[in-house]
């Protein structure tokens, strides 16, 4: 084994050693003046490419519509019950099941691409994914994506430890509150037009941003965070999976919720062709009852009550 | 989720982790030598460029480099990102980053060889390439093994950074299983796997060091 590694290293070294020598000698001959011009040209070229690329995104997306065979859905694989790993390690969830049904009807191959929630916009605009379909809140982002009709009514709630004594939003004053980075709960707390939420956020001892819900619940359990702001569906999943110990602030009283909003499927701004196809298929599924059937699979997490289509 | 499924999923994540580890070493070890030559070049421009490269690669977070390498084709050149590029970007970022560290390790090794050896080789009629390959490099490899082992162990743990591009290596898999199970246990098991991997690296490198200790 050792001899092979050595041989490999030596071979690599010889090749590189030779190239390094020759390039060194050639470069020595070039003058300082030539170097400056080359550097300037490079900068200009880079500036041109940067300017050109902005306009292209939408067009290329539309051009691809003709021969679509795959449909890549970007989702956060740590966001049950909308997208998560099941008993067998397969990615499932309400949204992914809907996407699978849409693909089956369109004859597309579904590609389930887990994404990092923080870089979702970059994934979408660079074409790595076709849409974000994962409990994606449209409120406040109406102008940033091309949306289908909303299919779930969602609320943002606070989760606190059972017996914490906190019952209303006012009780959160002076507490450490956690929220997922770049989430709609965070957006609701930072909404410039909603003075009530701004005041609420200002009353916290601090607002900590975390990357995923599992870590956040571990912090809540450990006591380093005293309340977590999140979507009600996710809250129900977490509380039922963890076998209690937590509760939603204010229980069923919407007055104590942070915000109410709607989920829809988000496409790259201007990608109406793909949006229309997916939306039409989704509405077909609502018509023939498939949509509710899929929702019933996730009834334990309150999805039957939450969906706003097919009722 | 059963324990067997969990271990199987973590195992396949471990496969991806090992792939990142070996591919990174395969490309960054030679590339590092290349940059160390650049860093020691007589030509000021080549030296400056290599120095700047090493300084940027060592001076910015690997996590940021991963994001930049993955998204650069689109944001800089306007090329839409194909699905296969995710893994390539991971490897590319790790190779570029680790080559910078390896370059400095090679340099420390090469510069530790006394000038007299080059002169002696020249007197004996060795060419520059022969001198380097037959006389200098074998000694350099022996001297740099401990710091290289250090980097290799860091690399095993750094592979977990691939989660920012959601390349499903062991850490990403562990996080996803943890989210599903709402339990910290998968992360602990992943930690154990990383430890075993590193233990193997340390043991193998110790053997390599012993084998190369032929003059003592």
Locate the domains of chain A by residue range: 63-151+264-306, 155-261
The pLDDT assigned to B13 comes to: 93
CATH code, domain carrying B201: 1.10.3720.10
Chain-wide mean pLDDT for chain A? 80
Chain-wide mean pLDDT for chain B? 93
The pLDDT assigned to A45 comes to: 46
High-pLDDT (> 70) share of chain B, %: 100
Alpha carbon of B64 to those of A211, B58, B72, B177: distances in Å?
A: 16, 12, 12, 25
Contact status, residue A225 vs residue A177, Cβ threshold 8 Å: yes
With respect to residue B215, please indicate whether it lies within any of the assigned structural domains.
no
With respect to residue B181, please indicate whether it lies within any of the assigned structural domains.
yes
Range of the domain at B175: 3-34+61-210
The topology (CATH level 3) of A155-261 is D-Maltodextrin-Binding Protein; domain 2 (3.40.190)
Query: Taking residues A44-73, what's their average pLDDT?
Result: 56
With respect to residue B51, please indicate whether it lies within any of the assigned structural domains.
no
Q: Mutate which of B41, B45, B182, B208 to disrupt the A interface (most A C-beta within 10 Å)?
A: B182
| pLDDT(A21) > 50 | no
C-alpha A186: how far from chain center? 14
C-beta atoms of B175 and A212 within 8 A = yes
With respect to residue B49, please indicate whether it lies within any of the assigned structural domains.
no
C-beta atoms of A217 and B168 within 8 A = no
For the ranges A20-24, A29-33, B121-125, the one whose mean pLDDT is highest: B121-125
The single-letter DSSP state of residue B162 is G
Query: Taking residues B167-177, what's their average pLDDT?
Result: 91
The pLDDT assigned to B214 comes to: 80
Number of domains in chain B: 1
| Alpha-helix residue ranges (DSSP H) falling in chain B | 3-39, 44-59, 62-77, 85-111, 115-123, 128-130, 137-158, 170-181, 185-211
**Residue B168 zone, left/alpha/beta (φ > 0; ψ -120 to 50; rest):** beta
- The predicted-structure confidence for A206-254, as pLDDT tens digits, reads as follows 999 888 888 888 888 888 899 999 988 888 888 888 887 899 998 878 8
| pLDDT(A37) > 50 | no
- The predicted-structure confidence for A120-168, as pLDDT tens digits, reads as follows 999 999 999 999 999 898 988 899 999 999 999 888 999 999 888 888 9
With respect to residue B46, please indicate whether it lies within any of the assigned structural domains.
no
The topology (CATH level 3) of A63-151+264-306 is D-Maltodextrin-Binding Protein; domain 2 (3.40.190)
Enter the pTM of the model. 0.76
For the ranges B29-33, B77-81, B82-86, the one whose mean pLDDT is highest: B29-33
- The predicted-structure confidence for A91-114, as pLDDT tens digits, reads as follows 999 999 999 999 999 999 999 999
With respect to residue B50, please indicate whether it lies within any of the assigned structural domains.
no
The pLDDT assigned to A66 comes to: 59
B residues 89..118 contacting A (CB < 8 A) = none
Comparing CB atoms, the residue among B33, B77, B83 nearest residue A13 is: B33
Q: Could you give the ipTM of this predicted complex?
A: 0.79
Q: Mutate which of A30, A57, A70, A77 to disrupt the B interface (most B C-beta within 10 Å)?
A: A77
Whole-angstrom distance, CA of residue A214 vs CA of residue A211: 9
The long-range contacts involving A4-13, CB below 8 angstroms and separated by at least 24 positions, are A5/B208, A6/B141, A9/B29, A9/B30, A9/B141, A10/B133, A10/B137, A12/B29, A12/B30, A12/B33, A13/B30, A13/B33, A13/B132, A13/B133, A13/B137
**Residue A198 distance to chain B (closest CA, Å):** 30
């Amino acid at each position: 084994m050792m001899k092979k590694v050595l041989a490999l290293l030596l071979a690599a070294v010889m090749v590189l050693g030779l190239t390094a020598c020759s390039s060194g000698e050639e470069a020595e001959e070039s003058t300082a003046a030539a170097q400056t011009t080359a550097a300037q040209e490079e900068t200009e070229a880079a500036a041109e490419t940067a300017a050109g690329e902005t306009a292209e995104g939408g067009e290329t997306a539309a051009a691809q519509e003709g021969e679509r065979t795959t449909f890549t859905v970007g989702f956060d694989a740590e966001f049950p019950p909308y997208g998560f790993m099941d008993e067998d390690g397969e990615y499932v969830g309400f949204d992914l099941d809907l996407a699978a049904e849409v693909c089956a009807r369109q004859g597309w191959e579904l590609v389930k691409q887990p994404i990092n929630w923080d870089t979702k916009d970059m994934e979408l605009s660079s074409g790595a994914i076709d849409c974000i379909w994962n409990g994606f809140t449209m409120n406040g982002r109406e102008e940033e994506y091309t949306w289908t009709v909303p299919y779930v009514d969602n609320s943002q709630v606070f989760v606190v430890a059972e017996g914490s004594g906190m019952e209303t939003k006012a009780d959160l004053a002076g507490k450490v509150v956690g929220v997922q980075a770049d989430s709609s709960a965070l957006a609701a707390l930072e909404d410039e037009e909603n003075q009530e939420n701004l005041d609420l956020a200002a009353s916290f001892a601090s607002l900590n941003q975390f990357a995923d819900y599992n870590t956040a619940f571990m912090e809540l359990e450990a006591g380093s965070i005293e309340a977590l702001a999140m979507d009600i569906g996710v809250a129900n999943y977490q509380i039922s999976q963890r076998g209690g110990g937590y509760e939603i602030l204010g229980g069923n009283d919407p007055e104590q919720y942070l915000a109410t909003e709607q989920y829809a499927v988000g496409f790259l701004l201007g990608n109406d062709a793909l949006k229309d196809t997916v939306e039409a298929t989704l509405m077909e599924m609502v018509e023939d009852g498939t949509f509710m059937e899929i929702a019933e699979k996730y009834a334990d997490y309150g999805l039957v009550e939450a969906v706003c289509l097919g009722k | 989720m059963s324990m067997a499924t969990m271990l199987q999923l973590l195992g396949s994540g471990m496969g991806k982790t090992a792939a990142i580890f070996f591919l990174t070493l395969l490309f960054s070890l030679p590339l590092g030598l290349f940059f160390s030559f650049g860093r020691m070049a007589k030509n000021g421009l080549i030296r400056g460029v290599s120095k700047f490269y090493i300084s940027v690669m060592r001076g910015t977070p690997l996590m940021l480099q991963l994001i930049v390498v993955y998204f650069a084709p689109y944001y800089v050149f306007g090329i839409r990102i194909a699905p296969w590029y995710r893994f390539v970007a991971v490897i590319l970022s790790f190779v570029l980053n680790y080559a910078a560290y390896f370059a400095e390790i090679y340099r420390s090794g090469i510069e530790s060889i006394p000038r007299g050896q080059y002169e002696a080789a020249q007197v004996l009629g060795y060419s520059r390439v022969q001198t380097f390959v037959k006389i200098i490099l074998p000694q350099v490899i022996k001297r740099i093994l401990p710091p290289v082992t250090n980097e290799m162990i860091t690399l095993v743990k750094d592979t977990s950074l691939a989660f920012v591009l959601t390349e499903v290596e062991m850490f990403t898999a562990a996080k996803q299983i943890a989210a599903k199970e709402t339990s910290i246990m998968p992360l602990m098991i992943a930690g154990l796997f990383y430890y075993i991997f590193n233990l193997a690296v340390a043991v193998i490198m110790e053997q390599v060091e012993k084998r190369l200790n032929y003059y003592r």
